[in-house]
Chain A
Amino acid sequence: MAVGTAGRLWARIGTGMAIAGAVGLGLVAMPAGAGAAPNLPPVSPEDLVASVEKADPGPLNGTVELDNALGLPAIPGAPDLANGTKEARVWSDGTGKGRVALPSDQGEKTLVSDGTTAWSYDSTDRTATKKAVTPGEHRPEAADPTRSAADAITELRTTSTVTVDGTAEVAGRPAYELVLAPKPTERTLLREVRIAVDSEKRIPLRLTVLATGSADPAFEVGFTDLTFGPQDPSLFTFTPPPGTTVKDAPQGDRTPGGKPAGAAPTVVGDGWDTVVIAKRPAPEQAPQGTPDLSRLGTPVSGSWGSGRLVTTAVASAILTDDGRVAAGAVPEQVLTEALSK
């Protein structure tokens, strides 16, 4: 009975099971490979952008993933900006009502808008914040989508090449890839911006920002899962659960006049190598909660003065000691030139 024929058979079956388990583990662990690029009828960039402006996708739900590899320095008080991936679950009824859930490991932030009231609920401190919204304020009547798309593309073409470069599959849906790339004369850190547009519903499915000198996207946000169809209306209402602190959102703190004291920012250059120069609020008058920026970056100096240089994968900024900030998607040299002007 010790190792009979049956015994050998079962030993072999045991080995088989173990190998099947290991292979299965590999299959679970491997990310799903990207499907072959779908075949779609060709479309011009103008037509594609015009159809996006006209698009009405109707009710939908899905999962959006944000992959941040911008390389922003760690800013105390703003950990959300650091590299990493984030996920959001979204629902929309297609008429301005919506719900967004931002899950974290052991909690969740929920944003619900029923068209007239917007709620935000944070499970970690169990507070619900309420704010009135005017329905439809974000939908200004576009005069003529085809015209405005053509105008927008003509404008873009002065500094960029705009093409529809092949197709892609995003969240299991075939999509066109609209690509904006800077013209060779533009001095920028960006290589190209790709927008995947759903071939049927014509809504943007994914935005990818690629920087020079790296094959991996510096920033990518897009659907990983998307379903069109009617949504449960109860998703778009919110009743604060028992034990919740309900607060009213402070109104009107986003009006233009409420901006921190300082002149309007100066814009130097145009297109991809635009540099924005602004006055920084002095530390003592900075609004509560502004991250402390005084220790970021490396010291730099030049004919324009001295300051600290902060670089990321797609943008640079110089915080000068005399209280100015120059920032843009450009290398350091362009910033210093702009500051010297």
Chain B
Amino acid sequence: MTITAETGPPTRAAAPVGRLLAAEVRWVFRRPRTLVTLGLFALIPVLIAIGVVVADRDGGGGLIGAVAGNGLVLPIAALTVALALLLPLAVAMAAADALAGEAANGTLRGLLLAPVSRLRLVGVKAFGVLVVAAAVALAIAVVGVLAGMVVVGSADGGMVTLSGTTLGLAAGLARVALVTVWVVGQLAAVGAVALAVSSLTEHPLVVLASVLGGLIAFGVLSAIPALDWLQPWLLTSGWSAGADALRDPITLDAMGSSTLRALCYAAIGVGFTLWRMQRRDA
């Protein structure tokens, strides 16, 4: 593996990025816990669908209530519900394994000594976390659409918006895709911060505890009226914006501003990880 006998210069050429990324993705998905997480997350929309059908109409207000007889809302409702804690948990798990887990196993030492620049190492690990984020979000979205169409059923094959208009199937699926992309963006921010914590410690549990603890702390802070001014700084304060995709005409303000905020959090996380990994001794 270390021999890269290509027609390059006599100094050891770095492995192609594509192969490194593929190797990392394979490494991530070979872990049974990743696959179990994916499978369990795919169950969320199914459970909501069964719950909505069993509860019949008048299942209460909120997004879950809007799912009744309106299957295409299910993936958006399921993503919004899971975004609160479950999706960040999956991403934090991946980030914890990426650096802290490797350090705990002793395998990080090999990676730090290998002829791979630290920059590339961080890039590959960040990519692995992003792939997990996209995979879990996509699993919920795809299973959500299927369960919504099959179990709940939809009105004329379309989506009834919160504004009382009916969208066609294609427009409805586009709304689901938009929310999925937005959720992946939010999860990328969580993943970047988790990766930064992961680069600081050798204990994967510390990463999980700090990410979940941080989310709960954000929730507590946003519930205190005297700390209103803090709201725009908190990553979680824009997490109800997914419902905006169900309005007609659609309003993108809240999703746009929360995506900008997520990008800032991601920059802080990745920047800190880079800084830390350059200084970390093998």
Chain A positions within 8 Å of B, measured between CB atoms, are 1-3, 6-8, 10-11, 13-22, 24-25, 28-31, 89, 101, 103, 105-108, 110, 119, 121, 123-125, 128, 235, 238-244
Contact present for B164 and A242 (CB under 8 Å): no
Taking the nearest CB of chain B, how far is it from the CB of A142, in angstroms?
34
- With a CB–CB cut-off of 8 A, which chain A residues contact B69? 242-243
Q: Which of B118, B163, B263 contacts A123 (CB 8 A)?
A: B163
Given A241-B160, A242-B155, A243-B70, answer yes or no on A18-B247 (Cβ-Cβ < 8 Å): no
Contact present for B162 and A123 (CB under 8 Å): yes
Residues of B117-160 at the interface with A, using a CB-CB cut-off of 8 Å, are: 117-119, 155-156, 160
Given A2-B281, A25-B261, A29-B233, answer yes or no on A11-B274 (Cβ-Cβ < 8 Å): yes
Does B275 sit within 8 A of A, measured CB to CB? yes
Given A15-B275, A16-B271, A241-B155, answer yes or no on A21-B265 (Cβ-Cβ < 8 Å): yes
Contact present for A14 and B160 (CB under 8 Å): no
Does B240 sit within 8 A of A, measured CB to CB? yes
The 6 sampled A-B contact pairs (Cβ below 8 Å) are A2-B281, A14-B275, A24-B260, A106-B63, A243-B69, A243-B70
A207 to B70, CA, bound (A): 40
Taking the nearest CB of chain A, how far is it from the CB of B276, in angstroms?
8
Contact present for A17 and B263 (CB under 8 Å): no
Given A29-B233, A108-B247, A244-B164, answer yes or no on A11-B279 (Cβ-Cβ < 8 Å): yes
Does B267 sit within 8 A of A, measured CB to CB? yes
> Please, which residue of chain A has its CB at the minimum distance from the CB of B112?
A2
Contact present for B264 and A22 (CB under 8 Å): yes
Q: Which of A14, A24, A106 contacts B272 (CB 8 A)?
A: A14
Does B257 sit within 8 A of A, measured CB to CB? yes
- With a CB–CB cut-off of 8 A, which chain B residues contact A29? 232-233, 261
- With a CB–CB cut-off of 8 A, which chain B residues contact A10? 117-119, 274, 278
- With a CB–CB cut-off of 8 A, which chain A residues contact B164? 110, 119, 121, 123, 128, 238, 240-241, 244
Contact present for A106 and B263 (CB under 8 Å): no
- With a CB–CB cut-off of 8 A, which chain A residues contact B66? 106-107, 123
B232-271 vs A, CB cutoff 8 Å, 1 = contact: the mask equals 1100000010011001010100000100110111111111
Taking the nearest CB of chain B, how far is it from the CB of A98, in angstroms?
14
- With a CB–CB cut-off of 8 A, which chain A residues contact B9? none
Taking the nearest CB of chain A, how far is it from the CB of B169, in angstroms?
14
Does B65 sit within 8 A of A, measured CB to CB? yes
Does B18 sit within 8 A of A, measured CB to CB? no
Given A123-B163, A128-B164, answer yes or no on A105-B240 (Cβ-Cβ < 8 Å): yes
Secondary structure at chain A's binding surface: helix, strand, loop or mixed? mixed
> Please, which residue of chain A has its CB at the minimum distance from the CB of B62?
A106
Does B273 sit within 8 A of A, measured CB to CB? yes
Chain B positions within 8 Å of A, measured between CB atoms, are 58, 61-63, 65-66, 68-70, 115, 117-119, 155-156, 160, 162-166, 232-233, 240, 243-244, 247, 249, 251, 257, 260-261, 263-276, 278-279, 281-282
- With a CB–CB cut-off of 8 A, which chain A residues contact B165? 239, 241
Q: Which of A31, A103, A107, A242 contacts B156 (CB 8 A)?
A: A242
- With a CB–CB cut-off of 8 A, which chain A residues contact B251? 89, 103
- With a CB–CB cut-off of 8 A, which chain B residues contact A1? 115
A13 to B118, CA, bound (A): 13
- With a CB–CB cut-off of 8 A, which chain A residues contact B281? 2
Contact present for A14 and B264 (CB under 8 Å): no
A239 to B167, CA, bound (A): 12
Contact present for B271 and A21 (CB under 8 Å): yes
- With a CB–CB cut-off of 8 A, which chain B residues contact A25? 233, 261, 264-265, 268
A239 to B158, CA, bound (A): 14
> Please, which residue of chain A has its CB at the minimum distance from the CB of B249?
A235
Contact present for B163 and A101 (CB under 8 Å): yes
Contact present for A15 and B271 (CB under 8 Å): yes
Taking the nearest CB of chain B, how far is it from the CB of A191, in angstroms?
24
- With a CB–CB cut-off of 8 A, which chain A residues contact B247? 101, 103, 108
A103 to B160, CA, bound (A): 15
Contact present for B61 and A110 (CB under 8 Å): no
Taking the nearest CB of chain B, how far is it from the CB of A241, in angstroms?
4
> Please, which residue of chain B has its CB at the minimum distance from the CB of A84?
B225
Contact present for B232 and A242 (CB under 8 Å): no
